[in-house]
Chains A and B, each alone.
Chain A
Amino acid sequence: MTMAGWLQIILFCVIIVALTKPLGWYMTRVFGGERTFLSPVLRPIEAGIYWISGVDEKREQHWLTYTVAMLLFHVGGFLVIYGVMRLQAVLPFNPAGQGAVAEDLSFNTAMSFITNTNWQNYGGESTLSYLTQMLGLTHQNFLSAATGIALAMALIRGFSRASMRTVGNFWVDVTRCTLYVLLPICVVYTLFLVSQGMPQTLGAYIEATTLEGAKQTIAVGPVASQVAIKMLGTNGGGFFNANAAHPFENPTALSNFVQMLSIFTLGAALTNVFGRMVGNQRQGWAILSVMGVLFIAGVAITYWAEANGTSTLQAVGLTGGNMEGKEVRFGIVASSLFAVVTTAASCGAVNAMHDSFTALGGMIPLINIELGEIIVGGVGAGMYGMLLFVILAIFVAGLMVGRTPEYVGKKIEAREVKMAMLAILVLPLMILGWTAVGVVYPAAAASMANAGPHGFTEVLYAFTSAAGNNGSAFAGLTGNTLFYNLTLASAMFVGRFFMIVPAMAIAGSLAAKKSIPPSMGTFPTTGGLFVGLVVGVILIVGGLTFFPALALGPIVEHLAMNAGNRF
């Protein structure tokens, strides 16, 4: 570990905190329907979109209608991606002549992108046409991100409103998020990425003759426009197979740093939106503090583990950390930080191969996802995921003192706690259930690339990533098989929508409640005690659920490695 390394980590945290307040202010205005500096340009477009699609922006929706609208929207999005992938061979923008994508892979990828997972069973440059990258993937990168933020807004309105039947209008929230938040940032961001060396072209792959006379085919494409939203929307599905480790998908240390910032920035800003909407920004900062504690602990462990290297490297006299599966321009620190950021948020882009991380360094990304990706989290998804844990923590605090728990002026009652538990239990069911199947079913076990405990971790990571809608992988696992295409898709679907529907039920139930003013007996939710309590609940729930699985995977691998065992 070096001073320069820690300085990069500190600078990252400082910039995220600095961006949280102004972006939170802007997003609160956008979703409140107020004027912003972009309104003169975008308002006519927004109004036109409502007119043509028959949306009455003044009419709000009940939580059930809101949820049904969201689900219908996803059915359509699924069909668009699936259709484009199956038909790409006969559609334009296909200079590399990619053939139709197989049914099961198209199914998996479509599910993966509508759930904001972006698991890559596809190979990017070797499988997809430019049209699929743009019309199939880029478009859903926007819309699944906008959906996540819209749902978070609905839940926040549940807390901030009193005695109301509605939680907002899904169509309006998605449109505003896309037009006012995602698109403007992406336009500027794309140009920055191209300036760093990221291609943005519809031309064919380049045929080069190398200095030593060999032939090299260099895949290019409309990369930057997709990478911008892939990061900002915490989607993470790569244009190329190697994702953000590919020099074209992450050309410089600066592009890498900005990509990490863009993964976190909207999710962090939503904590401020929450604080503003419930009338006390300190409520937002308290939540961001919970995230910050868990984040910094994760970064420190991963950085330490990767900088220490492995006994395999030390045995042959190599020093300088674990560089297997990492790029020189990022080095140990920027690779470790990226791995923690991408799994704390539900991004899943990778700039180094997690499969080659040290046992403990690779365990932190796994834990981040298993805790529910509430450390900033996916845009929107992290916020509603975190609020579920807050409800649980407040409930536990209420049990300790024997009072009905309250949070930001709302009584937390049986219905909210039941729904929160339902949403939280979906994750272990999908992760542990499918992992158990994956390690005993012979056709699935054959997909492991590494032997020993590391192979088990590959399977565990795959279902963790899918159910958590992350999308990063221990990529040695051969995922493009019928078994994994279908089971991972089911984990992604259940992990996304079986969490959303209970969260929306909570939104509806909270919005209908009266707001009660704080009293002497109200547990303060802006101080250190609250932060400690939520961190504790998150770690205990996650720890109790997943520790046995982690013990069989990364923990035993670490012990085996130090004992000199090789598999």
Chain B
Amino acid sequence: MLREIRPAIVLLLVLTAITGLAYPLAMTAIAGTFFPAQAQGSLIEKDGKVIGSALIGQEFRDDKYFHGRPSATVAPDPNDSTKTVPAPYNAANSGGSNLGPTSKALADRLKDDVDKLKAENPNQPVPVDLVTTSASGLDPDISPEAAQFQVARVAKARNMAEDAVSQLVASNVQGRMLGLLGEPRVNVLALNLALDRAAAK
């Protein structure tokens, strides 16, 4: 058994160096060469400043922008570090609400949010993704239905024709990947940037 001690130490160190340092560092170099934009986080710049990542959702409250899904992310409470405070779309601390199907807190939250959205647009059924929090709290997408649901509000806030906004939504819908995988979706940040560009014209 004693002769197993040397491999237990040396082999561990060698394999640790290969898998824990050489591999990730080499992959960082190679990935940075072939896919520089993705490797850095798919960042979007506007006027030379980083305004976010194409893959990470951000919070929109203004009526003139399409809104993303509710986010359950939190941040440490500045007054008491053992507690947390709500901080939607905190991309340095991802997470979901973890509220279960019989949670009273969830039932109350859903009722409030559905009532608000019904008041905003009584003509369409409220899309489920617009009132449920995502798993990461950073979901960059909403369903095409959730985008169409907001068209009237956005058009009114921007003084644009509803048809024009609706068309912009339609042109920003991404279908299932390879025609099969996942669900159709609209990237909220991309849609809002397209909206700003259309308004600027």
- On whether the beta carbons of A183 and B23 are closer than 8 Å, the reply is yes
Q: Which residue of B lies closest to A324 (CB)?
A: B132
CA distance A203 to B125 in the complex (A): 44
A453 to chain B, nearest CB (A): 7
CA distance A565 to B103 in the complex (A): 9
The listed residue (B7, B35, B129) touching A53 by CB distance below 8 A is B7
Which B108-145 residues sit within 8 Å CB-CB of chain A?
110-111, 114, 125-129, 131-143
B191 to chain A, nearest CB (A): 11
The listed residue (A72, A136, A355, A476) touching B5 by CB distance below 8 A is A72
- On whether the beta carbons of B8 and A76 are closer than 8 Å, the reply is yes
The yes or no answer to B155 lying at the interface (CB within 8 A) is no
Q: Considering the complex of A and B, which 3 residue pairs feature the smallest CB-CB distances, nearest first?
A: A253-B182, A139-B20, A476-B98
- On whether the beta carbons of A201 and B110 are closer than 8 Å, the reply is no
Question: Known contacts A325-B133, A566-B104; is A256 also within 8 Å of B92 by CB?
Answer: no
- On whether the beta carbons of A126 and B93 are closer than 8 Å, the reply is yes
- On whether the beta carbons of A247 and B125 are closer than 8 Å, the reply is no
In the complex, chain B residues whose CB is within 8 Å of the CB of A183:
18-19, 23
The listed residue (B11, B59, B133) touching A175 by CB distance below 8 A is B11
CA distance A450 to B62 in the complex (A): 33
Question: Known contacts A197-B55, A212-B62; is A139 also within 8 Å of B15 by CB?
Answer: yes
In the complex, chain A residues whose CB is within 8 Å of the CB of B58:
208, 210-212, 214, 216
Q: Which residue of B lies closest to A136 (CB)?
A: B20
- On whether the beta carbons of B182 and A454 are closer than 8 Å, the reply is no
The yes or no answer to B183 lying at the interface (CB within 8 A) is yes
Question: Known contacts A200-B28, A328-B134; is A209 also within 8 Å of B51 by CB?
Answer: yes
Question: Known contacts A49-B11, A567-B104; is A125 also within 8 Å of B4 by CB?
Answer: no
Chain B 8-24, CB-CB to A under 8 Å as 1, else 0, gives 11111011101111011
Chain B 75-108, CB-CB to A under 8 Å as 1, else 0, gives 0000000000000011111111111111110110
A186 to chain B, nearest CB (A): 7
The yes or no answer to A443 lying at the interface (CB within 8 A) is no
In the complex, chain A residues whose CB is within 8 Å of the CB of B4:
65, 68-69, 72
CA distance A316 to B112 in the complex (A): 10
CA distance A321 to B127 in the complex (A): 11
In the complex, chain B residues whose CB is within 8 Å of the CB of A65:
1, 4
CA distance A137 to B100 in the complex (A): 30
CA distance A359 to B103 in the complex (A): 11
Q: What class of interface size applies to chain B in its complex with A?
A: 35 or more
Which A111-146 residues sit within 8 Å CB-CB of chain B?
123-126, 134-136, 138-139, 141-143
Q: How many residues of A contact B (CB 8 A)?
A: 130
- On whether the beta carbons of B114 and A324 are closer than 8 Å, the reply is no
A318 to chain B, nearest CB (A): 4
- On whether the beta carbons of A138 and B19 are closer than 8 Å, the reply is yes
- On whether the beta carbons of A54 and B53 are closer than 8 Å, the reply is no
B189 to chain A, nearest CB (A): 7
Question: Known contacts A190-B31, A245-B136, A246-B136; is A353 also within 8 Å of B98 by CB?
Answer: yes
The yes or no answer to A242 lying at the interface (CB within 8 A) is yes
Q: Which residue of B lies closest to A328 (CB)?
A: B141
A201 to chain B, nearest CB (A): 5
